[in-house]
Amino acid sequence: MAGHPTARAPWWRFDAMRLSSRMAMLSVLLLLAVQLVGFGVIHTTIERNARSQLAEQLTVGERIWQRLLEQRATQLAQGAAVLAADYAFREAVGTHDNPTIVSALDNHGARIDASVAAFLDTELKLVATSDASDSALLPVLAALAPQLARRTSAVAAVGQRPYQFVMVPMKSPLLVGFVVMGFALDATLAEDMHALSGLDATLVLQPASAAPRVLLSSLAPAQATALQQTLAAAPAEGQLLIDGTPHLVRSVALTAGDGPRIRAMLTSSLARAIEPFRSLQLTLAALTLIGLLLFALGSILTARRVTQPLRSLARASERLGRGDYDAPLEHTHRRDEIGELAKAFDHMRVNIAAQQGEIRLLAYWDRLTGLPNRVQFRDAVRAAIARSNAAHEHIAVLMLDLDRFKNVNDALGYASGDSLLKGVAERLQQAMQSQAAQRAALAGGNPVSAGDLLARLGGDEFALLLPGADARAASALAEQLLLAFEAPLTLIDQAVDLSAGVGIACWPEHAADADALLIRAEVAMYAAKAHTGGAQVYDPAIDTASALTLSLLSELRHALEHDELRLYLQPKIALSSGRATGAEALVRWQHPQRGLVPPLQFIPFAERTGFIRRITLWIFEETARYQAELQRLGIARISVNLSTRDLLDHELPAKLDTLLQRHGAVAQAFCLEITESAIMDDPERAEATLNRLAERGFKLSIDDYGTGYSSLAYLQRLPVNELKIDKAFVMAMVNEPGAATIVRSTIDLAHNLGLTVVAEGVENAAILEHLRSLHCDDAQGFHMSKPLPVAEFEAWMLRWQALNPPSRRTP
């Protein structure tokens, strides 16, 4: 792969070549090898053929040579015979007329160019020679005479020249003597030989005790000289290098008997014999070359046909790797294996693209409503901020959370919950569009703001992105949306009232980046829900611990699963006897880094997220576990706090039943504290749950009484037993007459309604005394004890009860 620092082998290394070059190269090499072997076989065959042909030619050549010599001998013998038959000559021989003999020898010898002409007697003794005869020849002639008697001609060297001798008998009618004639052999004989047979002839003299030498030759002078050089080592028959070129040679002995020998060397160059085949070989070589080229071209093309698609497949897979699934694959139309591969690959591409699309859909879209989801919304906010940064524009994010959605889910089932969400999504979309249209009509321009985006963030939470909008414009839209919610939504046959809390946060006033903007909008939304409902623009005052909030949920979950929560108990005393008769269960978080975290730092958050339900169950189970023991210490009833979310949980009573059973506790030993606001969030539903809890024997208490707006007359309808005056009034009652009045009238009213009254926040003896004088029933506060860990509670109890024995009336 590109980018890897592996050293590439040089191009000429076979393993570094491209596949196509390798394939082409391999087949070309194979072809070349085959051709070379063929060429070699043909070459040797040709050479062998040429050699045997040449050898045969040489054999034939030898006969031709003999015939040439014989023919010449016959010619010469005829000349000699003419003389022998000459009447005048015979008469001169018969009369021993020596001068006539000599002159006849002279005449005839000169006529046929004889170098010597002589007459021998029957004893082969030299009788006369012509005047023109070469005297050097005479001794040779005398020596040869006995040989010539047996055959008609003989060759002999005289000095450095070869001669041919013939001898014919002269009869009249009896043998009277012999006529002998000798002729110099010259290059014409060799040239005749060459003309007749195509072979070169060379006469070589081999003296008895000297190096052989060339006498005459039909070879070119340079070659003859070269031959002279190699002559000593030359074989009589076989191969011989003349001037560096191979020749075949065959020798024919011309002389017999003693004396310097002469032989004829017949030679022919091998190259000449091969010559006719040479052009054949050249043609073959040319054909081979053309074949190779064609073959190389063919295999390159074939290899290309294979490797090109492979390369394009490789490119395609790189594209797939980059996440580009759009371009279809090439070569899918081919009918071969490559085509199949390409088709399979393309199939894979389409599948991956589909899966990728699916994943993207899951990752960016909400399945139920078809709206963008939280991830996409967050991206869009980021992008909008990036754009607006340059344009110096505002951005508003509007977050909306339905009220009581859980009720719909619980009461009507999840299918109804789903259709409710879809209905809400539609309404929001319509409201958004009509608002955009209004805006456009006012501005006389663009009908829809291009960047407006509606998303479902999850559950019953929706969000709107409004690029270009400030807090005022966003608030106007929020009003519009809430207005759209006024008409109830019909699910199957049930009309459901819609309401929601809307939070608004603006960039850049409220947050610097997308995540912070979303959190601020959420904080504003929770504030809206906690207070009046309707819309709330973000205000730093409502968001004190947002940084802490961020990771809190996961930390809380972790806390619950890893036993970081602690049960604390705060005693309640009966004012009439001074004895501790009750206790409130309060939660603490033993955080590994932050230490003991007070509930106000995480309970409100847990309430917002619904996590409080798990905390409630945990604290309830813990108190149920200690219930019997507390009973033994004199605690008749333990108070446990419930939140709004608990009240809306349909299954809470059943869950509490299970826990009671598990620890063998009874409902009568528990008092459940509920704040006014928890009830007022959804009074109908709260009432239903409270009734079911009361039925089981749980005592119910209104916590933080005085901070809400509920009337006692309304509370009277509920199955409550106790009123807990909020500590703000209790703590203030010594200094503020107004607070004291409220406490007094509340106690009176509650008693009139048959409720017992508890005052919390009793911080000193003065308050305690004041409450006692007002006939308040129970008191809880730091004056008696702060909330204590379970382990310390028993010691406190023993101490306290000892100070306040049962018989005494006042503590």
Q: Name the residues that contact Ca ion, by CB under 5 A.
A: 641, 673, 703-704, 760
Q: Is 153 in the site for ligand C2E (CB under 6 A)?
A: no
* 309 phi/psi in degrees, rounded to 5: -60, -35
**Is 582 near ligand C2E (CB under 6 A)?**
no
Q: Peptide bond before 805: cis, by omega within 30 degrees of 0?
A: no
Query: Which of Ca ion, ligand C2E, none lies near 456, with the C-beta cut-off 5 to 8 A by kind?
Result: none
Contact 712, 749 (CB under 8 A): yes
Stretch of 106-114, 399-407, 597-605, 769-777 contacting ligand C2E, by CB under 6 A:
597-605
Return d(Cα 713, Cα 729) in angstroms, integer. Answer: 20
**In the set 24, 457, 619, 635, which binds ligand C2E (CB under 6 A)?**
619
586 binds ligand C2E (CB under 6 A): yes
**String of DSSP letters for 283-310:** HHHHHHHHHHHHHHHHHHHHHHHHHHHH
Nearest distance, CB of residue 579 and ligand C2E, angstroms: 18
Is the peptide bond prior to 599 cis by the omega test (within 30 degrees of 0)? no
How would you list the strands of the sheet with 395-402, edge to edge?
A: 453-458, 461-467, 395-402, 500-507, 534-537
- Interface positions, 664-683, toward ligand C2E (CB under 6 A): 673
- Contacts for 740 with CB less than 8 Å, ≥ 6 apart: 733, 734, 770
If the CB atoms of residues 653 and 781 are measured against ligand C2E, the closer one turns out to be: 781
413-421, 497-505, 594-602, 748-756 -> range binding ligand C2E (CB under 6 A): 594-602
Contact segment (CB under 6 A) with ligand C2E among 150-158, 400-408, 741-749, 779-787 equals: 779-787
| Cβ closest to ligand C2E, residue 65 vs residue 611 | 611
643's contact among Ca ion, ligand C2E, none, with CB below 5 to 8 A by partner kind, is ligand C2E
CB atoms within 10 A of CB 676: 19
- Tell me the one-letter amino acid at 315: R
Helix/strand/coil for 722:
strand
Minimum distance from residue 726 beta carbon to ligand C2E (Å): 7
Q: Per-residue string for binding with ligand C2E, 530-569, x by CB under 6 A?
A: ----------------------------------------
Which residue, 180 or 565, is less far from ligand C2E as judged by CB?
A: 565
722 binds ligand C2E (CB under 6 A): no
Contact between residue 252 and residue 62 where contact means Cβ atoms under 8 Å apart? yes
SS3 674: strand
DSSP 350-373: HHHHHHHHHHHHHHHB-TTT--B-
Q: Which residue is nearest to Ca ion (CB)?
A: 673
Contact of residue 762 among ligand C2E, Ca ion, none (CB under 5-8 Å per partner type): ligand C2E
Measured from the CB atom, the residue of 255 and 675 that comes closer to ligand C2E is 675
- ∠ CA 260-265-269 to the nearest 5 degrees? 155
Of 102 and 612, nearer to ligand C2E (C-beta) is 612
Q: Is 277 in the site for ligand C2E (CB under 6 A)?
A: no
> Which element (helix H / strand E) includes 120?
strand 116-121
- Least spacing, CB of residue 785 vs ligand C2E, in Å: 9
Stretch that binds ligand C2E, among 204-212, 267-275, 358-366, 584-592 (CB under 6 A): 584-592
CA distance linking residue 768 with residue 783, whole number of Å: 8
Region for residue 165 given its phi and psi (left: phi exceeds 0; alpha: psi -120 to 50; beta: otherwise): beta
CA distance 386 to 617: 45
Residues 6+ apart with CB under 8 A from 195: none
Which of 366, 401, 760, 778 touches ligand C2E by CB under 6 A? 760
Provide, rounded to whole angstroms, the least separation between the CB of residue 697 and Ca ion. 20
Residues within the interface to ligand C2E (CB under 6 A):
570, 585-587, 598-600, 603, 612, 616, 619, 641, 643, 673, 703-704, 727, 760-763, 780-782, 787
